[in-house]
């Protein structure tokens, strides 16, 4: 690497650390006490967890195996760009946007193809244990839709990157960062209305009594919850869940129909209170902001990698220049893919903090810790989870606190509903 590239890469890493420190300071959760982890044996029989552990061991093995796949594909494609960039540039008629489009869509499809065996194994494993109820044809259709969406998004990002790299050899990374940050917000805004309907059907909650209880909870939290929807999760899974998605006008709380079917009313209200807490604390907006701001140093790092591998000069118009643009786009994609995989633990660290805050707020609004304990016990049972996930796996993959810690928080609340907050959050 030349010294200029090293300097820029160093600035990118320092910038990322600075942004993360500021976000940790300004966008963290507050007022959540530290909570002890109760012994697993207090809440679960070892015998009832045997099957769960067997199921989870398989899931973890597949998740670990999947981590390096996308980066490996992207890095291999970038390393071999000498071979394919010429033909692709000619196919695109020497137009950078077309070349970037072909590359982005192609890489997205190649990555999906490389991941397909693991996805198939994951599906078969879930069917084997009775967790997945979806049939193979419906699953295959969902996979197909996912690949198509990925190709469209990949093609769009590839085209945008190629045009910027061709037109702005010094500042493309900044334009790209701005565009990507906008894209991150737009995805959060549009996912519930554009992407989610492709994979599930939702209907408004049709249960006036529950709706009354939900609205009362929402009032207590100072949240307007005009849109509570129920999806058709039972067509795909026996697990129960709920989530909040969207920003502003697209915001909604979605309850799995399995949750309403399999869990008692007071536990459903705990889940709703948790989701309302995500709304109250603006977790979707905060999480999106983490992503959007950290994209900026990420793009600067891409700039350093591109400069180190292909120099800093402008690509000339025409097929040969477009070939250089393509090689640069491939380096950007490889860098993004590696950084994205490596930064997964950071995203989950943030997510776990928000989940703890939502759990705590749910306890304070429902004032029903016994139901919260039974809810997480029930989730472990219906999702074949393990209450105490091995540390390294939890740090890497855990978007939520471990079930036993969530139970510990409920017990802590039961013992003392108004403790001093943990200064570490
Ligand atoms: Zn949550």
Strand, coil or helix: 274:
helix
Alpha carbon of 148 to ligand 1 centroid (Å): 28
DSSP characters over 109-147: HHHHHHHHHHHHHHHHHHHHTT-B---HHHHHHHHHHHH
Distance in Å, CA 392 to ligand 1 centroid: 21
How far, in Å, from the CA of 243 to the mean position of ligand 1? 7
Give the residues of the chain that fall short of pLDDT 50: 425
Which residues are CB-neighbours of 394 under 8 A, at least 6 positions away? 402
The pLDDT assigned to 425 comes to 46
Give the distance (Å) from ligand 1 centre to CA of residue 2. Answer: 45
pLDDT number for residue 104 = 98
**Cβ-proximal residues to 86 (8 Å cutoff; 6+ apart), any chain:** 319, 323
**Rounded to the nearest whole angstrom, what is the distance from the C-alpha of residue 283 to the centroid of ligand 1?**
9
Q: What pLDDT does residue 268 have?
A: 95
Strand order in the sheet with 252-256: 202-204, 228-231, 252-256, 242-245
405: how many CB neighbours lie within 10 A of its CB? 21
* Cβ-based neighbour number of residue 55 at 10 Å: 20
Contact 144, 199 (CB under 8 A): no
- Of 2, 1, 12, 4, which Cα lies nearest the Cα of 336? 12
**How many CA atoms are closer than 13 Å to the CA of 287, on its beta-carbon side?**
24
From the list 1, 12, 5, the residue with the least C-alpha distance to 299 is 12
C-alpha to C-alpha distance for 358 and 286, rounded to whole angstroms: 13
- CA 273 to ligand 1 center in whole angstroms: 10
Three-state SS for 93?
A: coil
CA atoms within 13 A on the CB side of 57: 6
């Amino acid at each position: 690497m030349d010294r200029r590239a090293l300097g820029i890469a160093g600035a990118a890493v320092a910038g990322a650390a600075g942004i993360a420190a500021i976000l940790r300071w300004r966008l963290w959760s507050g007022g959540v006490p530290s909570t002890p982890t109760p012994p697993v044996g207090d809440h679960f029989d070892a015998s009832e967890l045997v099957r769960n552990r067997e199921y989870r061991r398989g899931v973890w093995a597949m998740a670990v195996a999947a981590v390096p796949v996308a980066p490996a594909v992207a890095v291999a494609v970038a390393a071999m760009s000498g071979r394919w960039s010429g033909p692709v540039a000619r196919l695109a008629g020497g137009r950078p946007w077309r070349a970037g489009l072909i590359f982005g869509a192609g890489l997205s499809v190649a990555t999906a193809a490389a991941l397909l065996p693991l996805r198939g194994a994951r599906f078969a494993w879930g069917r084997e244990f009775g967790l997945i109820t979806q049939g193979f044809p419906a699953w295959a259709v969902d996979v197909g839709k996912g690949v198509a969406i990925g190709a469209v998004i990949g093609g769009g990002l590839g085209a945008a990157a190629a045009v910027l790299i061709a037109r702005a050899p010094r500042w493309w990374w900044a334009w790209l960062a701005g565009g990507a940050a906008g894209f991150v917000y737009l995805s959060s805004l549009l996912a519930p209305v554009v992407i989610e309907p492709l994979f599930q059907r939702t209907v408004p909650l049709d249960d006036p009594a529950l709706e009354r209880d939900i609205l009362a909870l929402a009032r207590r939290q100072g949240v307007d919850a005009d849109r509570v929807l129920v999806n058709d999760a039972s067509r795909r899974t026996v697990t129960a869940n709920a989530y909040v998605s969207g920003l502003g006008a697209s915001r909604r709380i979605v309850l799995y129909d399995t949750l309403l079917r399999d869990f008692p009313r007071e536990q459903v209200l705990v889940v709703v209170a948790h989701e309302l807490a995500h709304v109250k604390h603006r977790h979707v907006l905060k999480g999106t902001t983490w992503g959007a701001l950290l994209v900026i140093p990420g793009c600067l790092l891409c700039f350093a990698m591109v400069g180190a591998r292909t120099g800093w000069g402008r690509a000339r118009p025409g097929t040969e220049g477009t070939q250089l643009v393509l090689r640069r786009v491939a380096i950007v994609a490889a860098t993004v893919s590696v950084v994205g995989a490596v930064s997964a633990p950071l995203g989950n660290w943030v997510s776990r903090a928000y989940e703890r805050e939502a759990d705590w707020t749910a306890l304070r609004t429902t004032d029903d810790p016994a139901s919260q304990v039974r809810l997480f016990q029930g989730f472990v049972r219906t999702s074949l989870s393990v209450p105490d996930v091995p540390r390294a796996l939890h740090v890497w993959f855990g978007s939520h606190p471990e079930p036993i810690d969530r139970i510990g928080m409920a017990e802590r609340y039961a013992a003392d509903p108004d403790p001093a907050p943990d200064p570490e959050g």
